[in-house]
Amino acid sequence: MSEKVRVTEIITKTKKVDNPVILDFQNGELQPNADVNFFKAKDSHQPNKEMAVITTKNSVYHGYINDDLSSNLVNNFLAIRNKSTGKVRLVQVDDVSLLNDIYHKQEIRLGNQLAEQSARSMMIKQFGGRFANRALERTERMKVSVDVVKNQLDKTLEESIVNEEELNVSIDETNINKIRPPFNADAKRVEDIYNLVDIIPAELLEKLNEEAKAVVENDPDSLPIDSEYLKTKLNAVKSSAAPDSSRSLTQVKMLIYMDALQNLIKGREKDLRKATFSNITERVENDIRLRFCEPNMASMRKTRFTKEKAICYYIALAMLTSGEYEMDVNTLSAELSMSRQTVIKYAQLVYARPISKTDLISLRLPSKVKIGTLFTGRRRKH
């Protein structure tokens, strides 16, 4: 048998021929020798999509072909190898994720029940007697109470998860450079460690000119920014001798970006496409969605990687906007809603170290700072 392989033929998809389909069952797997029937169909509600249907003796499964986000980004091929000759044929395939039809029926049934309940409630409110209306009001109040309790439980659970993460700040060594801003390891001066365009892209900085001018012209207290610290910094720029200077406007752009990062860090929305990071400009939001989502992840979800990278970039920008490359740990702790110790640990990644007998951390030359083992240990499995 030859160990070398050689691609001799590539068969791409054509509309005239049924292409092979790779099946993936969301809640199980296809058993060997299973007696199944496979069909392709069109959905009358979504005519542009093709559906795959699998029927067994007791169940029906269906799903849309090539409906995954990754299907629009890559082409999938099946390699067929001749062991004796080493020749390989590549056949382009479709893929589909299949779900049992019972879930679809449950959704329809639930929708019908909700519609019936809504219609019944409307009839009672319009034509029902006093006792019927009181009973309906009690029922609706109970529903609201359940929703309130659920929201409180969700919030408590999320807070407990955040606290647990804070107690176990450990980052794989290979990921350190992915979550902290690029830096000059050979810098001889503190001001040369970071280049602003490596933290905020130059193109974005250029596009934020109008937004920065508008921020300077308005009272910081009237701006849609929650952070009192950032408002204080903006007020200092506004009160400076040259608030419209290029340097002042650059400072404002950095503060706008910090506001968005802070909202990303503290926000509860996991879907980055739905989350709102900045109420000043969508330009910053779009940049963050692209640059802070986890690499090699098809969906734009907020993950631990997202939060850790945002923390590092926020601290780096805080150092650059401080004027003296120093920050109060207590201020960062309050702004990021995390413990002092956690702030110090992440600050270490961006070469900021505590000043002895003070509450300050200051930016240090990379050659003078050694990343501690607390960041290179293994993550504890939860």
Q: Are residues 78 and 161 in the same domain?
A: no
List Cβ neighbours of 100 (8 Å cut-off, separation of 6 or more).
27, 59, 60, 61
| Separation of alpha carbons 360 and 323, rounded Å | 14
Q: Are residues 147 and 35 in the same domain?
A: no
| Separation of alpha carbons 316 and 350, rounded Å | 6
Q: Which two tokens stand for residue 347?
A: 């600050």
Tell me, what's the pLDDT at 69?
A: 52
Tell me the per-residue pLDDT of 279-336, one tens digit each, with 9 for 90 and over. 899 999 999 998 998 877 767 888 888 999 999 999 999 999 998 899 999 999 999 9
> Is 335 inside any structural domain?
yes
| Separation of alpha carbons 65 and 249, rounded Å | 50
CB of 334 within 8 A of CB of 176? no
Q: Tell me which residue range forms the domain holding 75.
A: 6-105
> Is 100 inside any structural domain?
yes
Confidence tier at 92 by pLDDT (50, 70, 90)? confident
List Cβ neighbours of 21 (8 Å cut-off, separation of 6 or more).
38, 52, 65, 93, 94, 95, 96
Tell me, what's the pLDDT at 273?
A: 87
Shortest CA distance to 257 belongs to which of 328, 185, 300, 321? 321
Q: Are residues 145 and 179 in the same domain?
A: no
Q: Which residue has the higher pLDDT, 109 or 274?
A: 274
Q: Are residues 89 and 163 in the same domain?
A: no
CATH number of residue 38's parent domain? 2.60.40
Q: CA Rg, the chain, in Å?
A: 28
| Separation of alpha carbons 319 and 313, rounded Å | 10
Q: Are residues 136 and 66 in the same domain?
A: no
Q: Are residues 140 and 156 in the same domain?
A: yes
| Neighbour tally for 98: CB within 10 Å | 20
Residue where one domain finishes, among candidates 105, 120, 150? 105
List Cβ neighbours of 62 (8 Å cut-off, separation of 6 or more).
51, 52, 53, 54, 98, 99, 101, 104
> Is 367 inside any structural domain?
yes
Q: Are residues 178 and 214 in the same domain?
A: yes
Res 210 pLDDT > 70: yes
Report the number of distinct structural domains present in the chain. 3
Res 241 pLDDT > 60: yes
Q: Which residue has the higher pLDDT, 41 or 230?
A: 230
Q: Are residues 193 and 211 in the same domain?
A: yes
Q: Are residues 261 and 364 in the same domain?
A: yes
Q: Are residues 244 and 272 in the same domain?
A: yes
Q: Are residues 135 and 283 in the same domain?
A: no
Tell me, what's the pLDDT at 374?
A: 43
Tell me the per-residue pLDDT of 145-193, one tens digit each, with 9 for 90 and over. 445 555 555 555 554 444 434 434 455 555 788 899 999 999 999 999 9
Q: Are residues 98 and 162 in the same domain?
A: no
